[in-house]
Amino acid sequence: MHTLEGHKNVVYAIAFNNPFGDKIVTGSFDKTCKLWDANTGQLYYTLRGHSTEIVCLSFNPQSTIIATGSMDNTAKLWDVERGAELCTLEVGALFVPPPPPPPMCVCV
């Protein structure tokens, strides 16, 4: 068992890369996400880019991408191997759902 130390504020989110279980990702109110080796406790990367607290995160099923969500109204995708940001998704202030499909007509 290891103690993962390094965040400067509350750790609010944590995930294992199931089913592999060899990596842990943590997200914090310090605006960073950290990727750890689950077996040794070694820190691989500190992922920086959000401007406010990270409140959710997850690995994709292949454990090649981490998704983080923040109170800054963005979600970011990160490359696990390089510790690099892949893209940022910005959330608009108002979500407008798409219009419903037109009714189906049957001509006889």
Tens of pLDDT along the chain (108 residues) come to 778 788 888 889 999 999 889 999 999 999 999 999 999 999 999 999 999 999 999 999 999 999 999 999 999 999 999 999 999 988 764 445 556 666 665 555
Residues 6+ apart with CB under 8 A from 100: none
* Cβ count within 10 A of residue 46: 14
Q: Quote the distance between the C-alpha of residue 21 and its chain's center.
A: 17
* Cβ count within 10 A of residue 53: 18
Residue 42 · residue 5 · CB < 8 Å? no
Number of domains in the chain: 1
Encode 70-80: b = buried (16+ Cβ within 10 Å), e = exposed.
bebebbbebeb
Q: Per the domain annotation, does 61 fall within a domain?
A: yes
Kindly report the CATH number assigned to the domain that includes residue 42. Answer: 2.40.10.480
Range of the domain at 55: 11-90
